[in-house]
Amino acid sequence: MSEEKRLNFLEEIIESDLETGKYDSIQTRFPPEPNGYLHIGHAKSICLNFGLTQRYKGSTNLRFDDTNPSTEETEYVDSIKEDIRWLGFTWANEFYASDYFDRIYSMAVELIEKGLAFVDDSTPDEIASFKGTPTVPGKPTPGRSRSVAENLRLFEAMKAGKYPDGAMVLRAKIDLASPNMHMRDPIIYRIKHTHHHRTGDKWCIYPMYDFAHGQSDSIEHITHSICTLEFIPHRPLYDWFIEQLGIFPSHQYEFARLNLTYTVMSKRKLLQLVNEQYVSGWDDPRMPTISGLRRRGYTPESIRDFCERVGIQKRENIIDVSLLEFCLREHLNKVAPRRMAVLDPIKLILTNYPADQVETMEVENNPEDPNAGTRPVPFTYQLWIEREDFMEIPSKKWFRLAPGAIVRLKNAFIVRCEGFSKDEAGNITEVHATYLPESRSGKDTSGLTVKGTIHWVSVPHAIKAEIRLYDRLFRSENPAAEEGDFKDHINLNSLQIIPEAYLEPGMALADAQTRYQFIRKGYFILDKDSTPGQLVFNQTVTLKDTWAKEAKKI
């Protein structure tokens, strides 16, 4: 019997709700505000909301929370849909809070009719000062005693565009002495003469988040409305509206938002990075956005696995980005085809190999996957190898090339280093070696044991490519928590460009969807900046987590 995974608190609640017959099936929603691109924190919420309805009987809506017309754009709507699909989820319905503006307006009218809402034409400062403080109860503003008829007339006039922005608001009439400031007659409608990306100029009054979210949940019969911890103090208000309006009783549940080390996670901060050109765009491979992670080479599987491992908590915490990278390596190690690429090239000349000969080596595609097969790779007397695989004066435990030393060229021959040449400045320009014809991989009769194996690319066949290597975008573990501006903690060396790396020839046909392992160098993916004559690859992640060690050295 496999061990049962422990249920998280939401799964416990849902199982109990289904067992007691409170619901026959469950409904959740993912409610992004279309004011930016989704990030890995949203992925957490997406995996949670869709994951629950996959696990239990139910469905999940995608609902754009588009009640604030000034920050929302269709570009964001499109990117959000693309990202959710890419993560592997399918929504039952695509809804917009703005589709409910008529119904939400009627609900506001209903509250006015019940004497539970009033138009307040006090100034924002007056409203704030009359609200009191957590320890001092609020006082009524003059508008609070307006008659129902007068409130209805004014609200109608607000809607009709008779007043400028900020002239008046509609407030719920609840309890000015409540210890919860959200219950002290919260504003539920404001005037905003702003074009809306969907409703155009139909409306000049818009409901506040608290007067749109719960109502939208209720309209859609959402059973479990899951949000992050900062909404806990809003819950009494969420429940109050539902109760007063007698609408479908959706319930709000809160979990801790995902925070990740060495990055920032709020759309507002990410927007600053984009606008101030610290990064090339929302999909810069260093960004924690879904589109950035995708361009970097992350797989949906690895992100889902990460979200699953992180689980859900009820207390704020920060997750080490190494866990995300671990999940990525776990997945890529299984699926990534292996290729040879030389990032810092130096020439290796095989002095005894016929200069006009081209041999084809069959190189295995993935030792982790027996079905992955092999591919032909041309071999000649001139090879590119990594500069770091040769040492003029070898250190003690050096198993790679050095004068007199032997090494195996991956899936080819054993070679013995015979010498090297230098330019005037003293830089090594070429390494010379002889190969052992009887040592060919798979048919080796040399009887030699070799400790080191290095990769190579045939010089006349090599494909040139630009390679982009990435480091953490921030030097600080938690830049948002640092004093001062979070941007002061940006790592200015987070992008390193290798203009000319050499790849085995098959990479000319590299597929944009495939993540490759460049053996010994990490995982790489073709970037959208590539053109037919100029391939560009992003390093997705290194093979090992070298960063923790490096950080200790600093």
User: Which H or E run includes 67?
Assistant: none
The number of residues that bind Mg ion (CB under 5 A) is 1
Least gap, CB of 252 to ligand ATP (angstroms): 10
Out of 33, 82, 418, 482, which one is annotated catalytic? 33
Q: Closest CB to ligand ATP belongs to which residue?
A: 41
- The yes or no reply on residue 265 touching ligand ATP (CB under 6 A) is yes
Whole-number minimum distance, CB 443 to ligand ATP, in Å?
56
Residue 206 structure tokens: 């818009």
* Least Å from the CB of residue 360 to ligand ATP: 51
Pick the closer one to ligand ATP by CB: 35 or 178.
35
d(CA 19, CA 36): 39
Question: Which lies closer to ligand ATP via its Cβ, residue 41 or residue 58?
Answer: 41
Task: Find all residues with CB under 8 Å of 128, minimum gap 6, and list them.
Answer: none
Give the x/- contact pattern for ligand ATP in 13-42, rule: CB under 6 A: ------------------xxx-------xx
> Is-contact 146 158, C-beta < 8 A?
no
Q: 63 and 30 in contact (C-beta within 8 Å)?
A: yes
The residues, any chain, with a CB within 8 Å of residue 337's CB and separated by 6 or more, are 365, 366, 372, 514, 516, 517
42 binds, among Mg ion, ligand ATP, none (CB under 5 to 8 A by kind): ligand ATP
Question: CB within 8 A of 4, min separation 6: which ones?
Answer: none
Q: Contact with Mg ion (CB under 5 A): which of 33, 369, 418, 466?
A: 33
At position 521, the amino acid (one-letter code) is K
Residue among 41 and 297 whose Cβ is closer to ligand ATP: 41
Alpha-carbon distances, residue 296 vs 293, 304, 326, 510, 537 (angstroms): 5, 16, 15, 16, 9
Residue 257 a catalytic site member: yes
Residue type, 175: D
| Cβ(122)–Cβ(143) below 8 Å | yes
Q: Which does 32 bind (CB under 5 to 8 A by kind): Mg ion, ligand ATP, none?
A: ligand ATP
Cβ proximity to ligand ATP: between 32 and 138 the closer is 32
Report the C-alpha gap between 303 and 1 in whole angstroms: 28
Give the x/- contact pattern for ligand ATP in 202-241, rule: CB under 6 A: -------------------------xx-------------
Q: How far are the Cα atoms of 72, 78, 160, 312, 501 from residue 196, in angstroms, in the given order?
A: 8, 16, 16, 35, 49
Annotated catalytic residue within 171, 190, 267, 408: 267
Q: Does 292 bind ligand ATP (CB under 6 A)?
A: no
Question: What minimum distance in Å lies between the beta carbon of 227 and ligand ATP?
Answer: 5
Residue with tokens 């290597």: 469
Q: Which residues bind ligand ATP (CB under 6 A)?
A: 31-33, 41-42, 44-45, 227-228, 257-258, 265-267
| Residues annotated as part of the active site | 33, 257, 267
